[in-house]
Structure 1
């Protein structure tokens, strides 16, 4: 009996504008990232595999999950195996993403860190809108209550232990800003799995120490999530953010909960889940999450809220949110002790997020101006974000017809990337650069030809 052509998969490939070879290349990139060197059935495929799947052959092994992950990234929405015409099923909100699951269980399930967690993508599904639904207020209230019984066994945990977790968190966060999320997350996950998990199960000197340790561990889980997000490991990032929110809720730390929710909203927005991003951002600035935060953190929460408003077409509300974020940052001063997690957010970061908001509102000219301000005011310690900002600025410049100007900007992106930045987000700006340059390839622009060749060489080396 002749196989029936998989019209659903064929339509998705057309929507993605992928040839069979391009689909196979994207598949292999995701497989390398997800499997981390483990050889499994269909851990690497060629164009003939994609042709067979379109022709009606049912993919086996890891293929359904990997292909759907690749398509989801390309199309900026969740693609399930069913939508792709496959028989396999996923349950994207299961396991650690269930808000009822104890965060200590989620930490324990990290296993050996990044390797196992990447493979977990294959069983827990792709990044999904279903997993972005937040619990109601009764959940937050229940989580923040002091436990009825304190542990009678386990190591005694004091203030010095809390400080140790905080120092480690800040060190990895600074490294992420310099080198990107693709460097060092294994160490973060190993510490979460073992040391932090043992602390959280220990005997605390008092309830204040218990809450402080849960807050410190939540920040470390958040940093792991942010690093995964920056390295385009989106399902992993969502799991870490979910765990971090649970730990922060256990601590009763509302500003920290808002900080983590802000990151979740940022990720959802980047992946095209605009409505869900707005809902999460609104939760991040609700009640004490915003009111109890320091001025710098309020500005950070507020500017991401502005971005989600802009992405959902709420122009006036977005403009008001931007003004409020600017006012909040102007109120930050040396006399106010800000949490360490806000160390990266200043004028340059505000300008970057403001530029993204203006870009999404269609104001490319003002967006370029704000991107320039971000580049001009950012310190050398923030090289990863600097590369991302330059990538976005080049895209805004070429949208205004400034091809040579964009080429000059993108040359600086490659300078930064080739100097040791490991970031999926920064790498994506290089991919986008080549797409945006494509219509101009036959115009004989010298700067463009050299840049395109250099970008192609770079991507060939890192893919």
Structure 2
């Protein structure tokens, strides 16, 4: 019996302007990010797989979800399996993302950063827009209630234990800013998995200490999520952010909850889920999440909100949000105690996010100026973000026809990467660099040939 052609998938590939080979290449990138090297059914495919699925052969294993994720990124909107003509069974690994799951259970489910069992769990949990739906207000109120009876036994947990977690988080956060999320996260994850549950189930002298410990643990889980996101491990990042948000809710820490939502919005935007990103960003600046935050954190929440507004073509609202973020940062001054998690956010970071917003609003000239301001004002301890900024700036310069200027900018990205930056986002700028330069390779421009050869050699060594 002849198979029926999958017209829905064929239409999506046509909309994406993808050949079968290009679709397979995008699929394999998503698979590498999601599966972490684990071999599963259809963990790597070729153009013939895509042709067979279009022809009506059933896509099995992880194929439906991975292909839909690749299409979502390309089309800048969510593509559900049903839209592509696929059916996907529920994945038990997604249970850890359920808002009804206790954060301590979620921590145990996450496991360590290198454990094979954890990899099997994460392989079933693909980054999905369905996991970005936030719980209702009743959930937040219930989570913030103190336990009716203290847990029996357990070690005594005091302020010194809280400070230890905070100091560890800050140390890893500084390393992430300097070297990228791919450096050192396994050590952080071991502590998160083995030590944090013991601290959260200990005996606290009072409720403020309990809440502070839950906040400190939430920040550590958030940082693991951010490092995973930076290293393009998106399913892992989503699970870490989910757990961090549950812990922050247990602490009743509204500004921290907003901070985590801001990161989730940033990730959703990078994944092409623009409406979801806007929903998360709006939630991050809603009510006490914004009102109780310090000026520096308000500016951070606000500028990501501006980016999501711009990505959804809400130009007037995006411009207003940018101005508010600038005002908030100008109010950050000595004497106001800011949380450690905002240490990286200053003029350079604001300029970077502003540039991205202007770029998405269709103003590349002003965007380049803001990227340049970011590069000029950023300190040496923020080398990872510096590389990402340069990558974006080169791409924006190229859209203005400044090919040699873009090549000069991108050469500095490779300088940083070759000097020891371990970041999937920064590496992604090198991949984009080669793709964007492709139309110029046959024109005999020396800077293009030299940069392309260097980028090719770099990618060959890290892949």
- Calculate the TM-score normalised by the size of structure 2: 0.93
Q: Which moved more, 1:109-118 or 1:278-287?
A: 109-118
In 2, Cα distance between the equivalents of 1:80 and 1:281? Answer: 22
In 1, Cα distance between the equivalents of 2:316 and 2:63? Answer: 45
1:407-457 deviations in whole A, cap 9, x for unaligned? 111111111112221212112212222222223223221101211222223
In 2, Cα distance between the equivalents of 1:243 and 1:407? Answer: 41
Superposition map of 1:120-269 within 5 A: 120-124=121-125, 126-269=126-269
Structure 1 runs, 4 residues or longer, greater than 6 Å off: none
After superposition, the Cα gap between the structure-2 partners of 1:154 and 1:276, relative to the gap in structure 1 and judged at 3 Å, is: same
- Offset of residue 263 of structure 1: 0.8
- Offset of residue 90 of structure 1: 4.3
Aligned partner of residue 60 in structure 2, secondary structure: coil
1:37-76 deviations in whole A, cap 9, x for unaligned? 4333333333333333333332333433443343344444
Paired position in structure 2 for 1:51: 51
- Offset of residue 116 of structure 1: 4.4
Superposition map of 1:390-401 within 5 A: 390-401=390-401
Q: Which moved more, 1:7-16 or 1:212-221?
A: 7-16
Conserved in 1, the CA contact under 8 Å of 2:72 and 2:272? no
- Offset of residue 264 of structure 1: 1.1
In 1, Cα distance between the equivalents of 2:420 and 2:313? Answer: 37
1:146-189 deviations in whole A, cap 9, x for unaligned? 11111121111111111111111111111111111122222222
In 2, Cα distance between the equivalents of 1:11 and 1:92? Answer: 31
Conserved in 2, the CA contact under 8 Å of 1:176 and 1:227? yes
After superposition, the Cα gap between the structure-2 partners of 1:19 and 1:445, relative to the gap in structure 1 and judged at 3 Å, is: same
- Offset of residue 282 of structure 1: 1.7
Paired position in structure 1 for 2:38: 38
Q: Which moved more, 1:30-39 or 1:207-216?
A: 30-39
Conserved in 2, the CA contact under 8 Å of 1:189 and 1:224? yes
- Offset of residue 17 of structure 1: 3.7
Q: Does 1:102 align with 2:102?
A: yes
In 2, Cα distance between the equivalents of 1:117 and 1:382? Answer: 31
Superposition map of 1:301-450 within 5 A: 301-450=301-450
Conserved in 2, the CA contact under 8 Å of 1:196 and 1:217? yes
- Offset of residue 243 of structure 1: 1.1
**Unpaired segments of 5 or more residues in structure 1?**
none
Superposition map of 1:269-280 within 5 A: 269-280=269-280
In 2, Cα distance between the equivalents of 1:49 and 1:318? Answer: 42
Paired position in structure 2 for 1:297: 297
Aligned partner of residue 435 in structure 2, secondary structure: helix
Q: Which moved more, 1:108-117 or 1:348-357?
A: 108-117
In 2, Cα distance between the equivalents of 1:128 and 1:34? Answer: 11
Conserved in 2, the CA contact under 8 Å of 1:231 and 1:423? yes
Conserved in 2, the CA contact under 8 Å of 1:78 and 1:127? no
Q: Which moved more, 1:41-50 or 1:167-176?
A: 41-50
